[in-house]
Amino acid sequence: MATHHSTYDAPGRSQPACPICGSSAPTKYGVKDGRELRICRDCRHIFWAQMPSDEQLHAFYASEYTQGHGQEEIQAANIEYYRHHAVDLVTKHGGAALCIADVGCSLPLFLEQALAVGFNTAIGVDYSQEARDYGERRGIQVMSPGEFDQIENDSLDVLRYSHSLEHMVNPMDNLVKASRKVRAGGLLHITQPNFPVFKATESSIPLKDSVWPSHLHFFNPVSLKCMVEAAGFRLISFCTVTEEQSCAATYGQIADVDYSVRMLKSLEAIGEHVRGKLNNFPYYYGENSVAFARKPASLTSRLNAAGRLFFGKLPKL
């Protein structure tokens, strides 16, 4: 019987509460390679009972990078997708002369395309020296997370996380801090691995890519929505994509569709119907989620806009 309740256990950090919604007493989901996975009873987020220490993570990624040959070729194959995606971000934002930050950018090939389609400033955030070197050759500033913390508040129009939050020990903290850098009215884009909303119960069904310490969080639409809203954003578009049939077959028996209906009603109207029924409310079976959210305009900027509207309508004397 577990009677141990310390917050930090050597060598890694233990997680007594849900790292996304803060709910206490998460329950056991299962065990992978001798490590326990827990599921939150409230937001149904799944995470490792024991998170890696900073030293373990740094050692892991240092060895990953040296093995990471071929990254440029892999990303180069996505150029067309990057270009369309960058245009989509400009369109969804609706502004001009935009500044974008891509957190966990790896080699900043996407940001090159963002500059090509009209963004005027592109900031990459990554620990990798290769990413910095690549950026330097192409006029893109790639910063460390510590340097990114120092940029001015309210200076970004678009904040992007593509397959990066699930690798962090504390994605909530990262997003909350980064959201301060986003101007009112700015856009947040997240795409990452998705799991359907599960029952809060133990299961022997393995989670895709549950490899410690590279994948530390297993988001579902409820935990993603919780994190995005806690960081001060409002979802404006949400769906899942790809492998929805096979994921439905794998996870269908532990999916809690009733809970999804209860918790995600507000997402029903912001799906993408072209993705099909299984990728939308209330199922969300696709293997990746695609979320767009907006930082609400501040009261001051809304009053200014209302003022312009009002004065613009004054009759000419």
Residues of this chain that interact with Zn ion (CB under 5 A) are 18, 20-21, 23, 40, 42-43, 45
CB nearer to Zn ion: pick between 39 and 125: 39
CB nearer to Zn ion: pick between 23 and 121: 23
CB of 42 to Zn ion, least distance (A): 5
CB of 39 to Zn ion, least distance (A): 9
CB nearer to Zn ion: pick between 21 and 49: 21
- The 3-class secondary structure across the chain, one letter per residue, is CCCCCCCCCCCCEECCECCCCCCECCEEEEEECCEEEEECCCCCCEEECEECCHHHHHHHHHHHHHHCCCHHHHHHCCHHHHHHHHHHHHHHHCCCCCEEEEECCCCCHHHHHHHHCCCCEEEEECCCHHHHHHHHHCCCEEECHHHHHCCCCCCEEEEEEECCHHHCCCHHHHHHHHHCCEEEEEEEEEEEECCCCECCCCCCCCCCCCCCCCCCEECCHHHHHHHHHHCCCEEEEEEEECCHHHHHHHHHHHECHHHHHHHCHHHHHHCCHHHCHHHCCCCCCCCEEEEEEECCCCHHHHHHHHHHHHHHCCCCC
CB nearer to Zn ion: pick between 18 and 86: 18
CB nearer to Zn ion: pick between 23 and 237: 23
Cα separation, 223 vs 194, whole angstroms = 10
CB nearer to Zn ion: pick between 23 and 56: 23
CB of 173 to Zn ion, least distance (A): 15
CB of 21 to Zn ion, least distance (A): 3
CB of 206 to Zn ion, least distance (A): 21
CB of 263 to Zn ion, least distance (A): 11
CB of 25 to Zn ion, least distance (A): 11
CB nearer to Zn ion: pick between 12 and 19: 19
